[in-house]
Structure 1
Amino acid sequence: MVGLLAPASALRQVCSGCARRVRLPGPALARTPGRMLAASYSQVSTVPLAYELHEPAKPVADKQTSPIIFMHGLFGSKKNNRTMSKVLARDLGRHVYTLDLRNHGDSPHDPKHDYTVMAADVAEFIRKHGLKEPTLIGHSMGAKTAMVLALNQPDLVANLVAVDNAPVDARLSSEFPRYIQGMRKIDEAKTTRQAEADEILKPYAPSPTIRQFLLGNLHRPSPGDRTQRFRLPLSTLARALDHLGDFPYKDPAEARFVKPALFVRGTQSKYVPDDVIPLIGQFFPLFELVDVDAGHWVISEKPEAFREAVLRFLEPKE
């Protein structure tokens, strides 16, 4: 992959406050649909995605069918981005759909879980709801889903915001298998109280914030059931972990998204190292990069910095 990287001198950087913005304009490229390497969309079986719709109090007239589609990361759900979605709907006057990706939240479970099928699910959601020129916003797993969809079907997408992930193969943190181990222990224990589940999870997830995030997936399967279980199909996601760091596209010559793209990364995170920035520019030649003083959970750690970056990117330019 090193051979795909442009020299660091090709980057133009401008520092302002705690955020660094990088813009790497590429040559004028013909917009040609990408070729999905893992499978063609015609061969993919999609699932209908659960969602919440956040409507602005004062919608912009020409944005009725040009919404924002917000996608969470691994072990997340549409609930995670609820507050930010309401804020963006208010500030931009646009409808915001927060999705549950397959095998998460209220969306159906399916044994196949990779970026090809997740992107196909979102593409079908866009078509089914008659959405025109949506903005895709995705964090982590949702960011790669957004990138794959934009590269494969650019005509469906107006622009995208990728939060703390990059179009590269990268090994997932060893924390994720431990989280699944802990969640399995909770299911085996048949807990009835949140505090009990939290205590079981502590050795696997020391951070109270991470534990709260994971335990948000607990529910009681039926009204009369006192036992809490995870909504997530843990076995399916455990099998998928080895591939969730992968990116289906290996060669920027096969697919480019030549519309605006914003990449927001946490400076304390390792998901978007400096040496992949030129590769981002080859897949997304009109990209901008904003650095936020945060870890991987950029949106929850620094919501105002994230909001400001998105507003600058999406507000109409003079």
Structure 2
Amino acid sequence: MRALSRGIQPIYAPILHPKHTTRIPIASRLPRSAWTRSFHASASLRTMDLAFDLHDNAGQAKGAPILILHGLFGSKKNNRSISKALARDLSRPIYAVDLRNHGDSGHDREHNYTVLAEDTEAFLKKHNLKDATLIGHSMGAKTVMTMALRDPSCCANIIAVDNAPVDAALASDFPRYVEGMRKVEDAKVKSQKDADQILEPYAKELPVRQFLLTNLIRTSPSDPLKFRIPVRILAHSLDDMADFPSKDPDQTRFNKRALFLRGTKSHYVSDETIPILGRFFPKFELMDIEAGHWIISENPEAFRKAVVEFLKEDE
């Protein structure tokens, strides 16, 4: 199943039935529909405005919008370069969004995929973004999957990067990262160098530490550095980040195109999860990228080519 490395090929979506297993080819495309979602009553009380950067190739990108959502501990800044490249290649405006409790967006004690989806649905409505492509990495991937299954009319298609619609424990790295960041905050450090030294036992790889430390800010010259993300809130939300809110693919299904990209060195989308992909997303396509979990930063060119090829098939 890890042979799809030369371009994007449709694969067979296993649909599992109680008494037997049938393999059916991915069906022909459905036409795009206008976004006509009727919001859940609960959404209006707890949605948060999301900060974003718009990349539109100096106003030249006029096509249907694309949203790109970062992963846990990330921000819209992580996707700046790839957003600019995709806006140029596809002539479509790219909205790089900060999810709640990340980047420049607000903080709230509730952090799970339902509220992340509601925030992003409200963002689409506020900015009148229709026929959008939703791209998400890791936490962002589960967010766009949640949105697609809650209301398929909210988007034209999705691209989920290195995550699957299953309940699965996060890699043990993430609790260690949180522990290290809390140690940095408790030490009230004055420099990035000091923060890096404290964090090193908890995040051995320099690129990972550099990624985590992009969240450090100084509110005034005399103040110690602190994380702009609410580390303690996110620490208590790790179990929710391992969860997936949709449990029954017989009740919720997304019958539009969905691309799943997985890292060849990552465990987040195992072969065992592929039947689940097929049940929730019958028209899914799968492609392997030579990378670990951080596909967009580790292999941006392969990611860019995969996204462009997938989306140009709809033109």
- TM-score past 0.5 threshold: yes
Instruction: State yes or no: 1:90 paired with 2:88.
Output: yes
Instruction: State yes or no: 1:259 paired with 2:256.
Output: yes
Q: Structure 1 280/94 Cα, relative in aligned 2: closer, same or farther at 3 Å?
A: same
Q: Structure 1 121/201 Cα, relative in aligned 2: closer, same or farther at 3 Å?
A: same
Of the three residues 284, 287, 291, the one matched with 2:288 is 291
Q: Deviations over 1:91-143 (max 9, x none)?
A: 00000000110000110000000000000000000000011111000000000
Instruction: State yes or no: 1:272 paired with 2:273.
Output: no
Does the 8 Å CA contact 2:131/2:155 hold for their aligned counterparts?
yes
What amino acid maps onto 2:278 in structure 1? Answer: G
Distance 2:264 2:10 in 1: 14
How far apart are residue 56 of structure 1 and its match? 2.0
Q: Deviations over 1:25-80 (max 9, x none)?
A: 4468999xxxxxxxx8321310000110001247355x1xx211000000000011
Q: Structure 1 134/254 Cα, relative in aligned 2: closer, same or farther at 3 Å?
A: same
What amino acid maps onto 1:67 in structure 2? Answer: P
Match of 1:100 in 2: 98
Match of 1:43 in 2: 42
Does the 8 Å CA contact 2:10/2:26 hold for their aligned counterparts?
no
Distance 1:51 1:284 in 2: 28
Alignment of 1:115-194 (within 5 A): 115-194=113-192
Match of 2:244 in 1: 247
- Alignment partner of 2:242: what SS? coil
Does the 8 Å CA contact 1:57/1:90 hold for their aligned counterparts?
no
Match of 2:17 in 1: none
- Alignment partner of 1:107: what SS? coil
Match of 1:7 in 2: none
How far apart are residue 19 of structure 1 and its match? 6.4
- Relative to the length of structure 2, the TM-score reads 0.88
Does the 8 Å CA contact 2:134/2:155 hold for their aligned counterparts?
yes
- Alignment partner of 2:77: what SS? coil
Distance 1:17 1:47 in 2: 39
Give unpaired runs (5+ residues) of structure 1. Answer: 1-12, 32-39
Distance 1:94 1:28 in 2: 24
Give unpaired runs (5+ residues) of structure 2. Answer: 13-24, 32-38
Match of 2:227 in 1: 230
Q: Structure 1 54/30 Cα, relative in aligned 2: closer, same or farther at 3 Å?
A: closer
Does the 8 Å CA contact 1:148/1:248 hold for their aligned counterparts?
yes
Alignment of 1:11-26 (within 5 A): 15=3, 17=5, 21-24=9-12, 25-26=25-26
Instruction: State yes or no: 1:205 paired with 2:206.
Output: no
Q: Structure 1 111/163 Cα, relative in aligned 2: closer, same or farther at 3 Å?
A: same
- Alignment partner of 2:237: what SS? helix
Q: Structure 1 14/76 Cα, relative in aligned 2: closer, same or farther at 3 Å?
A: closer
Distance 1:234 1:179 in 2: 10
Alignment of 1:293-308 (within 5 A): 293-308=290-305
Does the 8 Å CA contact 1:219/1:229 hold for their aligned counterparts?
yes
Of the three residues 274, 279, 283, the one matched with 1:282 is 279
Q: Structure 1 255/219 Cα, relative in aligned 2: closer, same or farther at 3 Å?
A: same
Does the 8 Å CA contact 1:19/1:293 hold for their aligned counterparts?
no
Match of 1:216 in 2: 214
Distance 2:272 2:154 in 1: 30
